[in-house]
Amino acid sequence: QEPAAVGAGSVKQQLSKLVISSLRTTVPEVDVEPMVEVCTAKFGDYQCNNAMGLWSRIKGSGTSFKNPNAIGQAIAKNLPPSDIIESTSVAGPGFVNIVLSNSWVAKRIQDMLVNGIKTWAPILPVKRAVLDFSSPNIAKEMHVGHLRSTIIGDTLARMFEFSNVEVLRRNHVGDWGTQFGMLIQYLFEKFPNWEEVGTQAIGDLQTFYKASKNRFDGDPEFKDRAQQAVVRLQGGEERYRAAWNKICEISRNEFDLVYKRLTVVLEEKGESFYNPYIPQVLEELDNKGLIKESEGARVIFIEGHQIPLIVVKRDGGFNYASTDLAALWYRLNVEKAEWIIYVTDVGQQQHFDMFFSAARMAGWLPDPKEKKFPKTNHVGFGLVLGSDGKRFRTRSTEVVRLGELLDEAKSRSKSELLQRLTENGKIVDWTEEELEATSEAVGYGAVKYADLKNNRLTNYTFSFEQMLSDKGNTAVYLQYAHARICSIIRKSNKDVEELKMSGAISLDHPDERVLGLYLIRFAEVVEEACTNLLPNVLCEYLYNLSEMFTRFYTNCQVVGSPEETSRLLLCQATAVVMRQCFELLGISPVYKL
């Protein structure tokens, strides 16, 4: 598929191209990757750090360079002419400091306003990725861990899609396994006319699961029948298949309610989907000599692990690992994905380490030292804690009901909004629909942002008070910041759509320049967040951007100043970038608050 518009990549990517060209001239004998970073010193905006490493590679080989500084000087001198770079200087052991040209930065921003932010998409090294996320288990509650997986996975998917990668969003639901015998048998007994009753009538699946489990544990004859049911289901018997379908349907309806509220799109390909592929996949692994017998089970021994990876249980059944091997085979060979990413809690780290190793032993994945793709990653995340420091729960229930959690986020944000609007006498300007939509955007956005802003590996404490506060690094604060920019533009009574075509941006004031440079870093931030699979990088950027805007707005008069046009365009560009960040984080922006 043709991407909407492909820009030349992030600033870093564009500078890297110039650096590559310079390196070819400077040191034609060595092949190195360009090292371009944002400058840490005051002397430049970006810097090229190749000289030191190059020096240690070529010194003593008869090179004419006297020291790393001389290499840095040559790299700077050999940069091809370009309108990106204003000037360069070389510091210490050859760091090349690069100052960007103000007019290029200004033009880049204006181009984005005219042609759309999609032109700022970074260029990623893959065309198609599988993102396996959310993935709750049928008939069991979708818990906070699944909420984290849903939120983190959706953000990563959005960032990849923005970067023109085709993303297969996969919901790897737990819809297969021995528990289905019990559930089906219980369905037959409890609802003899189950084929006619609507999914509604069967009601809450958690309760259904518990009741059937009690029956299973308490009645050996029921247990027998349940075990028979598994066999008949796996044998493909029509009636059992239909009952299984019905049970999955009920779960699916419940999950979909949550996805809808979170505006998350997923395509279900559950464990059952891969079941038919398991035998052939295991046969392939067996032919490669990877599968061994151990205590009646069939296993793969993996270097560095105490216990082997079980792929066929002692009773002959397949398991989580055999399903994952078959799914990976399918994703690589049928779906032709170059990057396969799994989002689950860190507790599953070992499972992923082991089955990725097995895939490498089978030759499915290249040695990472030789080739980068296809590759797999486990995106692990920590726990959500309650204010007591223990695993987060609501009231006395075992797990948090996600629907209730979202209800509460919305109602709290609505009452705070109402209170604020009443105090400021603004309540009259709001329709009921606006109130509803805004409380949802703010409330759900707060839940998502509170999760995403942390490095995903750390545990975080769930607190409605904190996430709904309008101070500090919260979604609410950011929503206010964005709405304020929109209101500045509205109050100017200028048509920015017209200004962006006729006016021009200049960055003469230092705070304008700082803001402009930060705006154009957007693409490389998205690139970094995708490369390292870290959504918090984008949150940090969004928060810093709003701080930089505040500094600019405090020190540079916008409306009524001689620079009004340029400054309004900077306001608009900031609002556009902030909205794109919200979009990538799955948060609906609010235009008035």
Interface with ligand ARG by CB under 6 A: which residues?
132, 135-137, 172, 174, 324, 327, 342, 344
> What is the nearest approach in angstroms of ligand ARG to the Cβ of residue 355?
9
Number of other CB atoms surrounding residue 334 within 10 Å? 9
> What is the nearest approach in angstroms of ligand ARG to the Cβ of residue 381?
12
Three-state secondary structure readout of 93-119: CCEEEEEECHHHHHHHHHHHHHHCHHH
**HSE value, Cβ hemisphere, 13 Å, CA-based, for 193:** 4
Report the distance separating Cα 273 and Cα 323, nearest Å.
Answer: 9
Report the distance separating Cα 52 and Cα 41, nearest Å.
Answer: 17
Listed in sequence order, the residues at least 6 apart from 321 whose beta carbon sits closer than 8 Å to its beta carbon are 309, 310, 311, 351, 354, 355
**DSSP string over 406-430:** HHHHHHHHHHHHHHHHHHTT-GGG-
> What is the nearest approach in angstroms of ligand ARG to the Cβ of residue 133?
8
Number of other CB atoms surrounding residue 402 within 10 Å? 24
Nearer to ligand ARG by C-beta: 326 or 467?
326
Listed in sequence order, the residues at least 6 apart from 188 whose beta carbon sits closer than 8 Å to its beta carbon are 194, 243
From residue 9, how far is each of 124, 163, 555 by CA, in Å?
Answer: 9, 10, 31
- In degrees rounded to 5, what are phi and psi of residue 423? -60, -40
- In degrees rounded to 5, what are phi and psi of residue 332? -80, -45
**What are 73's two structure tokens?**
């000087």
Rounded to a whole number, what is the distance in angstroms from the first to the last CA of the chain? Answer: 39
Nearer to ligand ARG by C-beta: 137 or 479?
137
Nearer to ligand ARG by C-beta: 174 or 589?
174
3-state secondary structure of 172: coil
> What is the nearest approach in angstroms of ligand ARG to the Cβ of residue 342?
5
Nearer to ligand ARG by C-beta: 47 or 344?
344
Position with the least CB separation from ligand ARG: 135
Nearer to ligand ARG by C-beta: 381 or 553?
381
> What is the nearest approach in angstroms of ligand ARG to the Cβ of residue 328?
8
Nearer to ligand ARG by C-beta: 142 or 405?
142
> What is the nearest approach in angstroms of ligand ARG to the Cβ of residue 468?
28
> What is the nearest approach in angstroms of ligand ARG to the Cβ of residue 263?
21
* Residue 484 identity (one-letter amino acid): R
Nearer to ligand ARG by C-beta: 135 or 163?
135
Name which of 112, 101, 94, 95 is nearest 37 in CA terms.
Answer: 95
Nearer to ligand ARG by C-beta: 341 or 523?
341
> What is the nearest approach in angstroms of ligand ARG to the Cβ of residue 272?
12
Nearer to ligand ARG by C-beta: 321 or 362?
321
For residue 366, whether the previous peptide bond is cis, meaning omega lies within 30 degrees of 0, is no
> Contact, 69 vs 51, CB < 8 A?
yes
E strand or H helix at 91: strand 85-91
Nearer to ligand ARG by C-beta: 324 or 524?
324
3-state secondary structure of 391: strand
The alpha carbon dihedral of 582, 587, 592, 593 has a sign of negative
> What is the nearest approach in angstroms of ligand ARG to the Cβ of residue 344?
5
E strand or H helix at 6: none
> Contact, 51 vs 68, CB < 8 A?
yes
> What is the nearest approach in angstroms of ligand ARG to the Cβ of residue 136?
6
**What are 76's two structure tokens?**
């700077």
> What is the nearest approach in angstroms of ligand ARG to the Cβ of residue 460?
19
> What is the nearest approach in angstroms of ligand ARG to the Cβ of residue 538?
23
Report the distance separating Cα 159 and Cα 524, nearest Å.
Answer: 12
